[in-house]
């Protein structure tokens, strides 16, 4: 009566079925890795020098000096925060119409292609590249940073909003359309309620990305806390740089906690 069932089982190979091919492939990857690593040219004496410099760096961070450059730091901080908030607000405000236009189920074909093209351009250009370009155009300072972050926000929010609109529950839109609603009323009654919580969540997320980016683009001259950080490192004032970094970490943590709390509250 009793059947002897096997007591061992192995997951059958999913990609390469032949055992010999599998071993050859794994060996090939190993050899390639070894060859690739051997071509990396490392100057060990330079690494040793760097370690010493790194040590000074870390020592500086361990004794952050908030006081001696406080005026520069606070000014950079205010600039950064202003830049972050204004660029997020302006960016989101511009993103909403572009996002709606880039949703296949709402916009006519030609508007769809125009809006997707705007999004593609904004996403293709990295913040630093735009910042360099805009600093060259408008000069050093937070205005160039504000424009950079607004531009980057458009690509981010508009794309995610458009994708979200394309995934809505169509029957709700159909029902609103069937009442004789106009296009604007359709957007207001069928689309907005479905995408609003996510739009708010994305905007808060973007707020915190924009703050971090404001520190980076400051290095290429777009003002804010990044510029302060850059100056401190250029002057070998690692204690002040440490203070700046600690402040950035602190603020990112605060935005992280508060935005996740807000998002939970909105659901």
Of 4 and 184, CB closest to other proteins: 184
Between CA 206 and CA 99 the distance in angstroms is 15
Comparing CA positions, the residue from 81, 85, 170, 165 lying closest to residue 119 is 165
Residue 12: DSSP 8-state: P
State the minimum distance, in angstroms, from the CB of residue 106 to other proteins.
15
State the minimum distance, in angstroms, from the CB of residue 198 to other proteins.
11
The yes or no reply on residue 196 touching other proteins (CB under 8 A) is yes
Q: Segment near other proteins (CB under 8 A), from 6-14, 184-192, 205-213, 254-262? A: 184-192
The yes or no reply on residue 190 touching other proteins (CB under 8 A) is yes
Give long-range contacts, CB 8 A cutoff, 24+ apart: 172-180.
173/105
The yes or no reply on residue 105 touching other proteins (CB under 8 A) is no
In Å, what is the CA distance from 126 to each residue of 202, 251, 252? 19, 23, 21
The yes or no reply on residue 180 touching other proteins (CB under 8 A) is yes
Q: Segment near other proteins (CB under 8 A), from 78-86, 94-102, 191-199, 251-259? A: 191-199
165 with 106: CB under 8 angstroms? yes
* Inter-helix orientation angle 192-217/127-138, to 10°: 70
Between CA 149 and CA 79 the distance in angstroms is 13
State the minimum distance, in angstroms, from the CB of residue 196 to other proteins.
7
The yes or no reply on residue 260 touching other proteins (CB under 8 A) is no
Of 164, 189, 198, 216, the residue at the interface with other proteins (CB under 8 A) is 189
Of 12, 20, 182, 234, the residue at the interface with other proteins (CB under 8 A) is 182
Of 62, 174, 250, 262, the residue at the interface with other proteins (CB under 8 A) is 174
Assigned token pair, 194: 């479905």
Comparing CA positions, the residue from 81, 73, 83, 80 lying closest to residue 228 is 73
Q: How many CB atoms lie within 10 A of CB 262?
A: 12
Of 6 and 180, CB closest to other proteins: 180
Q: Segment near other proteins (CB under 8 A), from 58-66, 150-158, 180-188, 217-225? A: 180-188
State the minimum distance, in angstroms, from the CB of residue 62 to other proteins.
50
The yes or no reply on residue 12 touching other proteins (CB under 8 A) is no
101 with 114: CB under 8 angstroms? yes
Between CA 199 and CA 205 the distance in angstroms is 10
The yes or no reply on residue 184 touching other proteins (CB under 8 A) is yes
Question: What's the length of the chain?
Answer: 267
Where on the chain is the footprint of other proteins (CB under 8 A)? 169, 171-172, 174-182, 184-185, 188-190, 193-194, 196-197
């Amino acid at each position: 009566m009793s059947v002897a069932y096997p007591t061992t089982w192995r997951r059958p190979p999913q990609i390469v079925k032949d055992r010999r091919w599998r071993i050859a492939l794994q060996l090939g990857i190993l050899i390639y890795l070894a060859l690739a690593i051997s071509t990396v040219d490392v100057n060990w004496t330079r690494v040793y020098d760097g370690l010493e410099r790194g040590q000074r760096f870390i020592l500086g961070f361990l004794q952050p000096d908030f006081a001696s450059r406080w005026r520069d730091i606070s000014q950079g901080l205010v600039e950064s925060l202003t830049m972050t908030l204004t660029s997020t607000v302006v960016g989101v405000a511009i993103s909403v119409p572009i996002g709606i236009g880039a949703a296949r189920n709402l916009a006519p074909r030609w508007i769809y292609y125009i809006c997707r093209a705007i999004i593609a351009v904004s996403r293709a250009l990295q913040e630093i590249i735009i910042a360099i370009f805009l600093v060259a155009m408008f000069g050093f300072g937070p205005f160039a940073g504000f424009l950079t972050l607004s531009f980057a926000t458009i690509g981010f929010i508009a794309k995610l909003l458009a994708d979200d609109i394309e995934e809505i529950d169509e029957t709700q839109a159909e029902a609103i359309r069937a009442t004789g609603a106009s296009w604007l009323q359709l957007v207001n009654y069928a689309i907005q309620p479905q995408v609003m919580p996510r739009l708010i969540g994305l905007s808060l997320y973007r707020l915190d990305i924009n703050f971090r980016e404001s520190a980076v683009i400051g290095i290429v001259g777009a003002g804010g806390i990044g510029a302060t950080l850059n100056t401190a490192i250029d002057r070998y004032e690692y204690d002040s740089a440490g203070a700046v970094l600690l402040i950035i970490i602190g603020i990112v943590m605060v935005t992280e906690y508060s935005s996740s709390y807000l998002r939970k509250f909105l659901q």
